[in-house]
Amino acid sequence: MSDNPAAPAPHAGRVVRPEKNGGTKIVRTRGKRWSAEAEAAFLEELAATANVTAAAEACGFSDTAIYKRRLRDPGFAAAWAEALAHGYARIEAMLIETATESLRRKPIAGDRPLPAVGFNDALNLLKLHRASVRGGKPQRYGWRQHEPDIEDVRAEILRKVAAMERAGGSRARG
């Protein structure tokens, strides 16, 4: 890389990429390429902050690009989940320390300070994370990639109609 921030990246310009239909296309690129260094920077920041947007900025990519990468790369998705779990554990530790007023005076060597997260924000993060930790329904990141089973859809519609009828019937009686 050059010291000049206005200078184009080494691979900037036009590149040939495959299309979904098997052909090829020429696309413009700013020269950013995913690398082991970018992945390490992302995962390190994610483990430190449990914040995907901040981690994406730390490695120089948009959070949209990062989410797409997670959908395409199962190994990256597993590393993401592990880093996120570590980040949530750090937030839980911070909340416990704050609640018990037992903050350390000297940080442990190599330990990064926790990000400035408000108490309510930290509790909301943990609430969102709780389902996956405590055996709730897991996040379904690729739900749009699969056609729903028509019988499942039909059963869900019938369940909702029955609930609406019960709610309407109780109002008529009341």
At 10-33, the pLDDT tens digits run 444 565 667 788 888 776 655 567
pLDDT bracket for residue 8 (50, 70, 90) = very low
Residue with the bigger pLDDT between 78 and 141: it is 78
Residue 155 belongs to some domain of the structure: no
Q: Which two tokens stand for residue 87?
A: 């980040």
Residue 20 belongs to some domain of the structure: no
Bridge partner list, 27: 15
What pLDDT score was predicted for residue 63? Answer: 86
Residue 9 belongs to some domain of the structure: no
Residue 93 belongs to some domain of the structure: yes
Please report where in the chains the tokens 């206005």 appear, as a residue: 6
Count CB neighbours of 84 within 10 A.
20
Out of 35-39, 49-53, 92-96, 106-110, the most confident range is 49-53
3-class SS of residue 7: coil
Alpha-carbon distance 10 to 166, whole Å? 65
What pLDDT score was predicted for residue 103? Answer: 47
Q: Which tens digits make up the pLDDT trace of 40-55?
A: 889 999 999 888 988 9
Q: Structural domain of residue 133, as residue ranges?
A: 34-139
What pLDDT score was predicted for residue 163? Answer: 92
Closest CA to 34 of 95, 76, 71, 74: 76
How crowded is the C-beta side of 43, counted as CA atoms within 13 Å? 18
Q: Which tens digits make up the pLDDT trace of 128-168?
A: 677 666 666 655 666 666 777 899 899 999 999 999 999 88
Residue 98 belongs to some domain of the structure: yes
Residue 126 belongs to some domain of the structure: yes
Number of domains in the chain: 1
For the segment 98-118, the average pLDDT, to the nearest whole number, is 61
Residue 128 belongs to some domain of the structure: yes
Alpha-carbon distance 86 to 90, whole Å? 6
Residue 157 belongs to some domain of the structure: no
Q: What one-letter code names the amino acid at 65? A: A
DSSP H helical ranges for the chain: 36-49, 52-59, 63-72, 74-100, 119-133, 150-173
Alpha-carbon distance 129 to 134, whole Å? 9
Please report where in the chains the tokens 């797409």 appear, as a residue: 68
